Amino acid sequence: MLIFINEELNQFHLTNKTVSYIFHVMKNGELGQLYYGKRLENQADFSHFGAYHIPTAASCHVEKDDPAFSLETVCQEYPVYGTTDFREPAISLRHPSGSSVSKFEYAGYEVLDGKERIPGLPSTFANAGEASTLVITLIDNLRDIKLKLYYTIFENSSSITRHASLENDGEHPIDIERLMSLSLDLNDHDFMMVHLAGAWSRERHVKERKLQTGIQSISSIRGASSHQHNPFLALKRPHTTENNGEAYSFHFVYSGNFLAQAEVDHYNTARIQIGIHPFQFNWRLNPGEAFHAPEVVMTYSDLGLNGLTQSLHTLYREHLIAPVWQKRQRPVVINNWEATYFDFNAEKILVIARQAKELGVELFVLDDGWFGKRNDDTTSLGDWFTDPDKLPGGIEALSRAIQNEGMQFGLWFEPEMISEESDLYEKHPDWVIYDPERPPSYGRNQWVLDYTREEVVDYLYERISSFIRSAKLNYIKWDMNRNITEAYSASLGQDRQGEFFHRYILGVYDLYERLTSKYPEVLFESCAGGGGRFDAGMLYYAPQAWASDDTDAVERLKIQYGSSFVYPIYSIGSHVSDIPNHQTLRSTSLKARGDAAYFGTFGYELDPNKMTDEEKAEVKAQIVTYKLHRTLIRHGDFYRLISPFESNEAAWMVVSKNRAEALIGWYKILATPNPKKIQTLKLAGLDSVSTYQVNGSDQAFGGDELMQRGLALPVEYNGVNQHQAERGGDFQSYVFYLTKNGG
């Protein structure tokens, strides 16, 4: 049993082996939050958790004869503004009278076995028996508006999902100005806020700050979840580490504008909210219509940040990534972008593909430049027809030739964009997003297509599907290289422009949904100028994401470390590229680049024909290593060990669920003169009463020893020990493989 309900007290307790989430109906009919944290045994009555006893002369109170009952001083579940709470609300509606005061009172509940999908939106899913969903209905009787709050608790996860929907059963349209997917009042604010921020080529860097009185937030108003802020916010206790202590996280399953914030009030209550950004949002809900806010995954861990991560990874692997891709190996990729940029033809591509095949690569991806007259980034987006000058036999002949070599074939699209210099723009200038009263801004010489228009989505569906069919595509890289400016659609009318951003992303989801349901065997990789839209919404359709255009081994440590907080590592697109690196001009060894890229979906972004025989042999060996371990990388529990944000080293590991094997990546960025004599790396997640062999050596080490004392690192060069030193210099890296004895 996952949901306990005390009907007399109107109290709801969602619980499984690890967490408890409890709320109830308060005396005024609204919902009060009682507890969220480590699992509690169910009790008949938890209402004392919601005791309110802060009589304050300065507060407004709900009832004349109960001056202590103020919404300002109780923890709530889905607060409104306009009565006695002055913090930011979860919901704000504009009624026909102009008033924005609403009151949603409890009207009933329903429990569903499993989980229903949210219409038009990506979300986690679960079959009957795997999860239970509690649906609470609240009604604003004055206006006949129904608010439904959905909570799903899974049998085997410390994550609970939430979302909200609104139904207008009244006779007048209402305007939704704010509808957060989650609001949660935590009793104290003794937390560090952890989030993932960055920019192009340095995405998802880990940031931490202490929660302070007032509002602290992260957000995007760019039309995409963004390079700048991932829609993820975590709270950890000040002493919580990667492996110990309490932490909560909130992750939005959405790819458009979002707001995630923590508001600490004058009683040090922390109100967490996450949802569609209310800025530029206004949705007209006509009588008989419903609006669904996207889903949020909230997770609790008392096993540190790695506990949060493992819970999210497992949930996404089993309940978000499309079933057909959950257990499939990810092919080793070669992508021609950095090898050729726009300068290629069929012969050149075939030479790269053949050489890559010989080295063990399984999938060739033809990147930007194969269509229209696209010899640079100024033209042809939208003209999704093969450029006959580069590929006289069409994509079809190239794909056939590559598939005949025994490789899979994938193709790059940027379906949401249009070039000013394109046939599509000549034919459909009205398909561009722009404000008719002003000239449109440029970004990478391109404009964004208006995905609020069905005919635009239909056109792209037809173009992309025709290539999937004719060229038998195995893979598609879906890129998106600029954000939305002059957000306006003539098709929406003057009073509905506030719906633009959400309708845009619904259009993107619609295209993804149509393509992935019709062609489930095609592997999609999402991309947005690198990792500018790496989020759970995308992950639902595209089981892997190009993490960053920055493939420099050192920069990758930070990008992959940050991404790993939330995203299963087998969804993190990570490739070995050429040196000097095209983004940083840094040169690192092939070994360091491979050792970093193993912990993701592995591949290459270079021309293998330019390699020496020695390098080719090394690549061949890397691919063999990756193939040997990719099942472990896909299914294992991931542990971050040393943060590149806090030290000159980085380390992480992945351990199989049965603790029988583990793969460890250790990296040192700059050499240390006269380093410590004995250097060890403390591991995690091993079986403490078993012994392990490292890299197949005869010596066995206790799991407890490896976790408490650590794995001895190879001897480092110290200026005088050249006969003994096994490593030295900048950009050192090692990958260790552990096997359990008798395991």
Token look-up 């009787």 returns 141
Residue 288 CB neighbours (<10 A): 10
Least Å distance, CB 209 to ligand DGJ, is 29
Least Å distance, CB 442 to ligand DGJ, is 15
Phi-psi region of 445 (alpha: psi -120 to 50; beta: other; left: phi over 0): left
Please identify, using beta-carbon distances, which residue of 220 and 380 lies nearer to ligand DGJ.
Answer: 380
Which residues are 196's β-sheet partners? Answer: 206
Cβ(727)–Cβ(679) below 8 Å: no
Least Å distance, CB 481 to ligand DGJ, is 5
CA angle at 216 for the pair 213 and 220, rounded to the nearest 5°: 170
Measured CA to CA, the distance from residue 552 to residue 580 in angstroms comes to 9
Least Å distance, CB 243 to ligand DGJ, is 34
Least Å distance, CB 614 to ligand DGJ, is 28
Least Å distance, CB 236 to ligand DGJ, is 31
Please identify, using beta-carbon distances, which residue of 109 and 341 lies nearer to ligand DGJ.
Answer: 341
Please identify, using beta-carbon distances, which residue of 301 and 419 lies nearer to ligand DGJ.
Answer: 419
Least Å distance, CB 379 to ligand DGJ, is 12
Exposure letters 100-113 (e unless 16+ CB within 10 A, then b):
bebbbbbeebeebe
Least Å distance, CB 305 to ligand DGJ, is 28
Residue nearest to ligand DGJ (CB): 368
Phi-psi region of 268 (alpha: psi -120 to 50; beta: other; left: phi over 0): left
Please identify, using beta-carbon distances, which residue of 294 and 531 lies nearer to ligand DGJ.
Answer: 531
Which residues contact ligand DGJ by CB under 6 A? 337, 367-368, 412, 479, 481, 527, 529-530, 546, 549
Measured CA to CA, the distance from residue 659 to residue 703 in angstroms comes to 10
Token look-up 């923590």 returns 262
Query: Which 8-state DSSP code applies to residue 337?
Result: H
Residue 493, φ and ψ in degrees, nearest 5: 85, 160
Please identify, using beta-carbon distances, which residue of 532 and 537 lies nearer to ligand DGJ.
Answer: 532
Point out the residues that are catalytic: 479, 549
Q: What is the 3-state secondary structure (H, E, C) of 431-499?
A: HECCCCCCCCCCECCEEEECCCCHHHHHHHHHHHHHHHHHCCCCEEEECCCCCCCCCCCHHHCHHHHHH
Exposure letters 604-622 (e unless 16+ CB within 10 A, then b):
bbbbbeebeeeeeebbeeb
Q: What is the 3-state secondary structure (H, E, C) of 142-167?
A: CCCEEEEEEEEEECCCCEEEEEEEEE
Least Å distance, CB 479 to ligand DGJ, is 5
Which residues are 250's β-sheet partners? Answer: 233, 298
Token look-up 């604003």 returns 140
Cα–Cα distance list, 228 to 141, 222, 224, 281, 407 (Å)? 41, 10, 10, 20, 36
Q: What amino acid is encoded at 539 in this protein?
A: L
Cβ(260)–Cβ(219) below 8 Å: yes
Measured CA to CA, the distance from residue 380 to residue 446 in angstroms comes to 9
Q: Is 631 helix (H, G, I), strand (E, B) or coil?
A: helix
Residue 359 CB neighbours (<10 A): 21
Measured CA to CA, the distance from residue 463 to residue 474 in angstroms comes to 16
Picking from 637, 721, 652, the residue whose alpha carbon sits closest to that of residue 683 is 652
Least Å distance, CB 368 to ligand DGJ, is 4
Measured CA to CA, the distance from residue 187 to residue 528 in angstroms comes to 38
The burial class, CB within 10 Å (0-12 / 13-18 / 19+), for 703 is buried
Least Å distance, CB 605 to ligand DGJ, is 8
Please identify, using beta-carbon distances, which residue of 94 and 444 lies nearer to ligand DGJ.
Answer: 444
Please identify, using beta-carbon distances, which residue of 161 and 336 lies nearer to ligand DGJ.
Answer: 336
Measured CA to CA, the distance from residue 495 to residue 475 in angstroms comes to 40
Please identify, using beta-carbon distances, which residue of 258 and 546 lies nearer to ligand DGJ.
Answer: 546
Please identify, using beta-carbon distances, which residue of 295 and 368 lies nearer to ligand DGJ.
Answer: 368
Q: Which tokens go with 216?
A: 């602290």
Q: Which tokens go with 630?
A: 């990719």
Could you write out the DSSP letters of every residue in 498-524?
GGHHHHHHHHHHHHHHHHHHH-TTSEE
Please identify, using beta-carbon distances, which residue of 453 and 575 lies nearer to ligand DGJ.
Answer: 575
Least Å distance, CB 419 to ligand DGJ, is 12
Please identify, using beta-carbon distances, which residue of 200 and 737 lies nearer to ligand DGJ.
Answer: 200
Q: Which tokens go with 452?
A: 């609020």
To which H or E segment does residue 365 belong? Answer: strand 363-366
Please identify, using beta-carbon distances, which residue of 529 and 685 lies nearer to ligand DGJ.
Answer: 529
Please identify, using beta-carbon distances, which residue of 367 and 416 lies nearer to ligand DGJ.
Answer: 367
Least Å distance, CB 136 to ligand DGJ, is 42
Picking from 179, 183, 184, the residue whose alpha carbon sits closest to that of residue 165 is 179
